[in-house]
Amino acid sequence: MTLTEQITELKQRVAAGGNKTALASEYKISQQTLYSYLKGSANLNNV
């Protein structure tokens, strides 16, 4: 799964009521990274 696909899936799961802390843990990312993805402010060029 690409990073873009993961971000899309995360956004869908949060919109469906998913717990952000649990999702960050499941995807092995920090909560700060998750919030960056949700805001769309993640710089994907450096990944």
Quick one: residue 8, left, alpha or beta (phi over 0 = left, psi -120 to 50 = alpha)?
alpha
Cβ-Cβ contacts under 8 Å for 44 (sequence gap 6 or more): 3, 4
pLDDT at site 27: 96
Joined tokens for residue 47: 């990944």
pTM of the model: 0.80
pLDDT band with cut points at 50, 70 and 90 for residue 40 = confident
CA dihedral in degrees (28, 34, 8, 20; nearest 10)? 80
Q: Where are the chain's structural domains?
A: 3-41
Amino acid at 29: I
pLDDT above 90: residue 26: yes
Percent helix, strand, coil in the chain (nearest 5)?
70, 0, 30
pLDDT above 60: residue 28: yes
